[in-house]
A and B are shown apart, each in its own frame.
Chain A
Amino acid sequence: MSEGIGEFRESQPLTLGVELELQLLSRRDYDLTRGATDLMQALEYDERFGEIKLEVTESMIEVSTLPQVTVAGIAADLAGLRDTLVTHCRRNNIGLCGGGTHAFHRWPERRICPGERFDAIYQRYGYLAKQFTVFGQHIHVGVTSADEAIWLTQALGEYVPAFIALSAASPFVDGVDTLFQSARLNAVSAFPLSGQCPPLADWHDFLDHFRLLQDCGIAKSIKDLYWDVRPKPEFGTVEIRVCDTPLSVGRATALAALAQSLCRYLLRERPGFDAEGLRHVARYNKFQACRYGRDAQLSEPGLRRQRPLRERIDELMILLDDDAVALGCSDWLHQLADDSLPGDAEWLRETWERVGNINDVVCAASARWMGKGDES
Chain B
Amino acid sequence: METLITYARGVWESTQERLFFLPPFPDQIDTLALFGLLLVVGLLAGEWLRARFGVPKIVGYVLAGTLFGPSLLSWISVEALTQARPIADASLGLLLMEAGRRLDLRWLLGNPSLLRATAADVLLSFVAIFFFAWALVGLSPGWAAATAAVTMASAPAVVLLTVEESSAQGQVTERVILHTAIATAVSFVLFALVLGFVHAELSADWINAVAHPLWVAAGAALIAWGTARLTLVVAARLPKRSLAQVFVLVAMALLAVGVARMLAVPVFLTLFVMGALLAFDDRRQTLAYTQLPEAHWLLAIILFVIVGASLPWQEFTWLTALQALGLLLVRAAAKSAAAFIGGRDLPRTKRLWVGLGIQPLSATAVFMAYEIAALYPEVGRSALLLPLLAAAIMEIAGPVLCRLALVRAGETAGDGEKKGGIA
Interface residues of A (CB under 8 A from B): 26-30, 33-35, 37-38, 41-42, 90-93, 108-109, 111, 114, 356-357, 359-360, 363
Contacts and interface: CB of A to CB of B under 8 A. Distances in A.
A93 B174 contact: yes
A124 B138 CA distance: 65
The dominant DSSP class at the B interface is: loop
25 contacts: A26-B169, A28-B104, A29-B288, A33-B169, A34-B411, A35-B169, A35-B170, A38-B170, A38-B350, A41-B347, A42-B171, A42-B347, A92-B111, A92-B171, A93-B104, A93-B107, A93-B110, A93-B111, A108-B417, A109-B167, A109-B419, A114-B410, A357-B240, A357-B241, A357-B289
B410 A360 contact: no
Given A90-B111, A92-B345, 14 more contacts: A28-B104, A29-B288, A33-B169, A91-B110, A91-B111, A93-B104, A93-B107, A111-B414, A111-B417, A357-B240, A359-B241, A359-B288, A359-B289, A360-B285
B413 A111 contact: yes
A41 B241 contact: no
Contacts of A360: 240, 285
B346 A42 contact: yes
Contacts of B241: 357, 359
Contacts, number: 65
A31 B107 CA distance: 17
Contacts of A35: 169-171
B110 A90 contact: yes
Interface in B158-203: 167, 169-171, 174
A38 B240 contact: no
Nearest to A91: B111
A174 to B, nearest CB: 14
A330 to B, nearest CB: 39
Nearest to A355: B240
Contacts of A30: 289
Nearest to B174: A93
A359 B170 contact: no
A42 B170 contact: no
Contacts of A108: 416-417
Nearest to B414: A111
B289 A29 contact: yes
Closest 8 CB pairs of A and B: A34-B169, A93-B107, A38-B171, A357-B240, A359-B289, A29-B289, A41-B347, A91-B111
B107 A363 contact: no
Interface string B103-114: 010010011010
Nearest to B101: A28
Interface residues of B, number: 28
A129 B416 CA distance: 15
Interface in B29-58: none
Contacts of B171: 35, 38, 42, 92
B110 A109 contact: no
A69 B411 CA distance: 42
A204 to B, nearest CB: 46
Contacts of B411: 34
A108 B416 CA distance: 9
B420 to A, nearest CB: 11
A268 to B, nearest CB: 50
A29 B347 CA distance: 26
A356 B285 CA distance: 12
A93 B346 CA distance: 13
A35 B350 CA distance: 13
Nearest to B167: A109
A109 B169 CA distance: 11
A35 B173 CA distance: 11
Nearest to B111: A91
A360 B241 CA distance: 11
B43 to A, nearest CB: 25
A34 B113 CA distance: 21
A91 B347 contact: no
Nearest to A32: B169
A27 B106 CA distance: 11
Contacts of B346: 42
Nearest to B112: A91
Nearest to B240: A357
Contacts of B350: 38, 41
Contacts of A34: 169-170, 411
Contacts of A27: 107
A34 B170 CA distance: 6
Interface in B118-175: 167, 169-171, 174
B417 A91 contact: no
A26 B177 CA distance: 14
Interface string B61-83: 00000000000000000000000
B288 A28 contact: yes
Contacts of A91: 110-111, 113, 345
Interface string B283-323: 00100110100000000000000000000000000000000
A109 to B, nearest CB: 6
Nearest to A33: B169
Contacts of A109: 167, 413, 417, 419
A375 to B, nearest CB: 8
A68 B285 CA distance: 42
